[in-house]
C-alpha cells in the first residue's frame, strides 16, 4: 500500500452481520465517527484512505462520497458484499462461512454498492482472500475467525452475477479488477499500454464452472458459494509475459 495510505475498516469492524447481529447487540453503525475522524486526519496529512464497502454508498454519487470522505478517499468492495446480504447468515443457520469483516449488510446496502460500481463511486473490487484452516472455522459462529476465500471465485462471480445480467459492462468490470486497483495502490500494472508489465488474466466468457471448495487449489474451504454454478472463468495467467503454470 502506498506511503501515507490508511486502510479503514472501522465502520464495519465490530459485530457480526448486519441486522442479525443487531439482534444480539453486537454491531456498530456502518458510518462510524472513527471513520469520519480518519478521513479528516487523512485530509490534513495529505495521504489517502482506503474505505472498504462503506454504507456511505447509499448516497452513491461521487460528489456526495467525496464531500463525506474527502477527495483522496478510495472505495473498494468485494464480490461477497455485492452478492450476499445479512439474511445469508440466518438462512445458512449461522454457517461460519458467512462470518466476515466487514460483515454482510442489508439488501439496501448491496443495492447501493452495486450502484457505486456503475457510477464510479467504487474504485476497485478486491477478492479479500482470507483463508483459514478448516478446524478454525469448524467452531461456533461466535468464536470463529472472520474471513472467507475470495481469490478463486472473484472473476466467475463477477462475470456471472454482474456482467451477464447486464448490471455491469464488461469493460467496467475489467477496470475494477485491473486499472482500478493499480490506481488505488499506485502500481504500474493493470494496463495494456506499451511498456506496461505484461501481467494478464485470460478469461473465457462462456466457460461454466461449479464452485466446489474441495477442488480449490487453496488448502482452505471457507466459502459461502459452495455449489453455485457460474458462467465465465479465468483460464490462464501471464506474469511479465510468461504463462503461469501451477503444479
Q: Which domains does the chain have, with CATH numbers?
A: 5-192 (3.20.20.140)
pLDDT-wise least confident of 28-32, 123-127, 198-202: 28-32
C-alpha 122/C-alpha 9 separation (Å) is 15
Whether residue 210 contacts residue 227, with contact meaning beta carbons closer than 8 Å, is answered with: yes
pLDDT of residue 45: 44
pLDDT level of residue 52 (50, 70, 90 thresholds): low
Question: Does residue 223 surpass a pLDDT of 80?
Answer: yes
Enumerate the H helices of 46-133 as residue ranges: 62-69, 79-83, 87-91, 107-119
Quick: pLDDT tens for 166-189: 999 999 999 999 999 998 888 888
C-alpha 173/C-alpha 162 separation (Å) is 9
Helix or strand or coil: residue 143? Answer: helix
Average pLDDT over every residue of 2-27: 41
Question: Does residue 20 surpass a pLDDT of 60?
Answer: no
Cβ within 8 Å of residue 141, ≥6 positions away: 16, 94, 95, 96, 99
Average pLDDT over every residue of 155-165: 98
Question: Does residue 116 surpass a pLDDT of 60?
Answer: yes
- Quick check: is 128 catalytic? yes
pLDDT level of residue 19 (50, 70, 90 thresholds): low
pLDDT-wise least confident of 27-36, 79-88, 219-228: 27-36
pLDDT of residue 41: 45
Catalytic residue among 109, 128, 160, 199: 128
Amino acid at each position: 500500500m502506498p506511503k501515507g495510505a490508511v486502510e479503514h475498516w472501522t465502520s464495519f469492524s465490530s459485530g457480526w452481520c448486519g441486522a442479525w447481529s443487531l439482534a444480539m447487540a453486537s454491531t456498530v453503525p456502518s458510518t462510524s465517527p472513527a471513520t469520519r475522524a480518519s478521513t479528516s486526519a487523512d485530509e490534513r496529512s495529505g495521504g489517502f484512505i482506503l474505505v472498504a464497502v462503506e454504507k456511505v454508498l447509499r448516497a452513491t454519487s461521487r460528489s456526495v462520497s467525496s464531500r463525506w470522505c474527502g477527495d483522496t478517499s478510495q472505495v473498494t468492495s468485494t464480490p461477497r458484499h455485492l452478492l450476499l446480504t445479512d439474511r445469508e447468515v440466518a438462512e445458512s443457520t449461522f454457517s461460519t462461512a458467512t462470518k466476515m469483516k466487514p460483515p454482510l449488510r442489508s439488501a439496501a446496502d448491496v443495492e447501493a454498492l452495486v450502484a457505486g460500481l456503475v457510477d464510479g463511486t467504487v474504485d476497485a473490487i478486491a477478492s479479500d482472500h482470507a483463508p483459514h484452516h478448516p478446524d478454525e472455522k469448524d467452531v461456533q459462529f461466535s468464536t470463529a475467525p472472520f474471513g472467507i476465500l475470495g481469490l478463486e471465485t472473484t472473476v466467475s462471480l463477477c462475470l456471472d452475477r454482474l456482467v451477464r445480467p447486464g448490471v455491469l459492462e464488461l469493460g467496467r468490470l475489467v477496470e475494477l479488477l485491473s486499472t482500478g486497483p493499480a490506481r488505488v495502490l499506485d502500481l504500474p500494472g493493470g494496463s495494456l499500454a506499451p511498456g506496461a508489465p505484461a501481467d494478464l488474466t485470460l478469461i473465457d466468457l462462456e466457460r461454466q464452472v461449479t464452485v466446489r471448495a474441495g477442488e480449490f487449489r487453496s488448502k482452505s474451504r471457507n466459502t459461502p458459494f459452495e455449489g453455485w454454478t457460474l458462467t465465465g472463468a479465468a483460464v490462464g495467467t501471464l506474469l511479465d509475459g510468461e504463462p503461469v503454470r501451477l503444479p
